[in-house]
Amino acid sequence: MWTAMLGLTALPHVGGICGAFITRRETKTWYVSLNKPSWRPPNSAFGVVWTALYTGMGYGSYLVYKELGGFTEDAMVPLGLYGLQLALNWAWTPIFFGAHKIKLALIELVVLTGTVAATMVSWYPVNRTATLLLTPYLAWLCLATSLNYCIWRDNPDTKED
């Protein structure tokens, strides 16, 4: 079970590391040129926050996996929703930072946030600790959605048709 715990806990970091390469390049060029709200967290906070959030969600997925006996029929919905939200999470960075599609990234983020909420609902009867581990993630996504919206609103030159 140690390998499952380590693998599932580490899995979210894979997309995070890949996204960090895109983000790092774009924060020094394109992102710096955007109008951003004064309340946004400093750039240095994002890596720390995402490391903690990815670790929590990954460990939570392990708790659900363990409770349901692995990738069983009972695990299809809770782990399927988790996989979907993870894919949506990983997709946001290439959309926002890579393609500079601020509005599309905002729409994607709203769908991601709803998928995380649905994941939490599906996890609650299985493992409440796992559900609680997603709570800071959901809160951060609400902040990220607000930030994405303000950037879209305050940068009319970058609005897509």
Residue 159: pLDDT over 80:
no
Distance CA 79, CA 65 (A): 7
Of 24 and 12, the one with more pLDDT: 12
Instruction: Name residue 153's amino acid.
Output: R
Sketch out the chain's domains with CATH numbers.
2-35+46-158 (1.20.1260.100)
Instruction: Name residue 93's amino acid.
Output: T
- In this predicted model, what pLDDT tens digit does every residue of 54-73 receive, in sequence order? 999 999 999 999 999 999 99
CA 116 from centre of chain = 9
User: Following CA atoms 33, 39, 43, 46 in sequence, which dihedral angle do they give, to the nearest 10 degrees?
Assistant: -130
Residue 161: pLDDT over 80:
no
- Mean pLDDT, range 105-133, rounded to an integer: 98
Query: Residue 157: which pLDDT band, with cuts at 50, 70 and 90?
Result: confident
Instruction: Name residue 85's amino acid.
Output: Q
Q: Three-class SS of residue 29? A: coil
Which of 74-83, 110-119, 123-132, 148-157 has the weakest average pLDDT?
148-157
Query: Residue 156: which pLDDT band, with cuts at 50, 70 and 90?
Result: confident
What integer pLDDT is reported at residue 160 of this predicted model? 58
Residue 120: pLDDT over 70:
yes
* Residue pair 95/46 in contact by the 8 Å Cβ criterion: no
Query: Residue 151: which pLDDT band, with cuts at 50, 70 and 90?
Result: very high
